[in-house]
Amino acid sequence: MKIFNLPEKENMRPGHLACQGCGAALAMRYTLKALGEKTIVTIPACCWSVIDGPFPYSSLKVPLFHCAFETAAASAAGIRAGLDIKGLEDINVLAWAGDGGTFDIGIQALSGAAERNENIIYVCYDNEAYMNTGIQRSSATPYGAWTTTTPVKHYKNRPKKDIVAIMAAHRIPYVATASVGYPDDLIRKVEKAKNIKGTKFIHIYAPCPTGWKCKPDDTIKISRLAVETAVFPLYEIENGYKYILNIKPEVKKPVTEYLKMQGRFRHLTEKEIEMIQKEVDFQWKRLLEKCNQN
């Protein structure tokens, strides 16, 4: 029985180097299903620069250009310009970066490209830390999480940066969140992005069992809980103002269900969890307001 109607053609091969249960590997697989073969990918330093495999191998069936850590958006803009001047406007250019490469070191180039409305699809697969270098905090690391640079005694005490709002503030045609736990929704969004001209930014939630200290077979469960608890809601923003909520849980589950599945939150006290719950509730309310505005 088919649960989802996903495009069958695979543009990613088996034999890649991702860890078991890697959300980033799934994210790429789904994204390339949606984009098809007429796609060129550029990847900065991140887990994916390893996952693809060592020279001379590649697990992608489409051309892949490895670029410097902070340059995903600028590299993609360059590829776009190079293709356009040759009349190859129908080829998708995909910038594929981690949260570190997007929220932190690459944000300048990303902001520049978005402001110019470069005709690229920028995907940030978010595993909420620098995983390639061994689980250091990024500005995408959520409040309360352990990483090797935010040890339990000094856990991350600032909220996750709101990259979606930042991108929407550039008034680009399309910004969306997506999750590997909802492949049909993810693929629909990538397909939608493919048919829009300008900068498209898709923020994909991608669990990292190695870094989150959770079970590899829980990747999907955790991804779905992130949506069901409203820790990571799925929504779209068109042209910087039109908010569309994609999934509204009938009953919002308590965040503790989500947190307790991950070792990175093990140290949190009841009180701290309560604080996190409050913050999630507050942000959820704000999001609903934005969505209902329209």
From the list Mg ion, other proteins, ligand TPP, none, pick the one residue 75 interacts with, judged by a Cβ distance below 5 to 8 Å according to partner type: other proteins
The answer to whether 4 and 27 are in contact (CB under 8 A) is no
Within 131-150, the residues that bind Mg ion by CB under 5 A are: 131
The phi and psi torsions of 125 (rounded to 5 degrees) equal: -90, 125
Asked if 21 touches ligand TPP (CB under 6 A), the answer is: no
| Three-state SS at 106 | coil
Asked if 86 touches other proteins (CB under 8 A), the answer is: yes
Asked if 199 touches ligand TPP (CB under 6 A), the answer is: no
| Three-state SS at 161 | coil
Within 25-64, the residues that bind ligand TPP by CB under 6 A are: 45-47
> How many residues interact with ligand TPP (rule CB under 6 A)?
17
Q: Which two tokens stand for residue 137?
A: 């905090």
Within 220-249, the residues that bind ligand TPP by CB under 6 A are: none
Which residue number places its CB atom closest to Mg ion? 98
The answer to whether 187 and 28 are in contact (CB under 8 A) is no
Within 68-107, the residues that bind ligand TPP by CB under 6 A are: 69-70, 97-101
Taking the least distance from each CB to other proteins, the nearer of 19 and 50 is: 50
154 Cβ contact partners less than 8 Å away, ≥ 6 residues apart: none
Taking alpha carbons only, the member of 89, 98, 91, 93 closest to residue 69 is 98
The answer to whether 98 and 48 are in contact (CB under 8 A) is yes
What is the rounded CA–CA span in Å between residue 129 and residue 20? 17
Taking the least distance from each CB to ligand TPP, the nearer of 122 and 243 is: 122
Site of interaction with ligand TPP (CB under 6 A): 24, 45-47, 69-70, 97-101, 127, 130-133, 138
Site of interaction with Mg ion (CB under 5 A): 98-99, 127, 131
Site of interaction with other proteins (CB under 8 A): 37-40, 42, 49-50, 52-55, 57-58, 60-68, 70-71, 73-86, 91, 108-109, 111-113, 115-116
